[in-house]
Amino acid sequence: MRIGILGATGAVGQQMIECLIEQNIPVTELRLLASTRSVGKKYLFKNEVVVVQEATENSFENLDIVLGAVESDMSKIFAPFIKKAGAVYIDNSSAFRLDETVPLVVPEINGEDAITHQGIIANPNCSTIITLMAIYGINKLSKITHMIASTYQAVSGAGVNGIYELEDQVKDILNNKKIKSEVFSHQIAYNCIPKISEILNNDFTAEEMKMQNEGRKILHNPDLKVTCTCVRVPVIRSHSISLSFRTEKELTKEEISNAIKNSPGVRLIELPNLPMPLNTSDTDIVEVGRIRRDEVIGGYALWCCGDQVRKGAASNAVQIIKCLNFEK
């Protein structure tokens, strides 16, 4: 299988390279594509050195799959050239997620949707993936109708510069130096910022609306109602979500716990143990715990954590390849 990675030098692109090896994808050619400033960089893939090439409109010829790890604007520019070359584009950006002709796929939940693609398959938002992984087993027992979610999103979700800014601010505070905030709108060290992305006309942010809009599409539930608050927290890696949800029919706590326990890709963490970002970082497992009855919403509450670079992005995209049953 001939695979290209668009945006290969970023954190998600680099993780995609590792995931191709980890998931035993039969790669016969790996083409690493990035902007002009990254041309010539060398990376090791299965004991072979692969040199980064400039991404141009002619970069995709003879490829079977292109994994996208670029921003939405660049994704929209290159997608037509990828389709023209006859490759399947698995895009990690938000560019095509709500396009009715583009499947939005989490393999454990709706992997069969991938085969209906018309040249493009979208990878969902990282917090959406982690949240839905936690509850998809429950949704099989009884359709989830309402969700109230608060996300606690790691600084690496804003890229490697988000990590550097947190580290620099901590050092500056300890040394009584002036704090600089360039990546984030406010100081992130020892702080929480309850705003990720732009505010929309309904007073929610674009990031917050993804949970409802993408959740409806992935779960095939156009009536799903979600209230979401997204918060940036001073954690290096792995997002966490506090979630309350209601199902169509009443379920017992035992049924909820068993559904989570029997969901591939998910680990039930029982007290006194707790799901935490440190435990899920650099893994593909979503941990779920703190399950309790929520009398306010008329359902249950839980807490879940997952690595947004891996299962929230790169690992999920590579898993989608397996849904396509490529034999090349």
Residue 3's Cβ-side half-sphere holds a number of Cα atoms within 13 Å equal to: 26
Task: Give the C-alpha distances (Å, rounded to integers) separating 108 from 22, 99, 182, 247, 320.
Answer: 17, 21, 37, 20, 10
Write the CB contacts of 104 (distance below 8 Å, at least 6 apart in sequence): 97, 98, 110, 113, 122, 124, 214, 217, 218
97: exposed, middle or buried (C-beta count within 10 Å: 0-12, 13-18, 19+)? buried
- Give the separation between CA 270 and CA 48, rounded to whole angstroms: 43
Q: How far is residue 13's CA from residue 16's CA, in Å, rounded to a whole number?
A: 5
Structure tokens at 235: 């954690």
The distance of Cα 29 from the centroid of its chain, to the nearest Å, equals 25
Phi, psi of 8 (to 5 degrees): -70, -20
The enclosing H or E element of 241 equals strand 239-247
> Quick check: helix, strand or coil at residue 128?
helix
What are 306's strand-pairing partners?
A: 239
Residues taking part in catalysis: 126, 239
Rounded CA separation 307/197 (Å): 20
Helix (H) or strand (E) holding 278: helix 277-280
Residue 282 has which token pair?
Answer: 């650099």
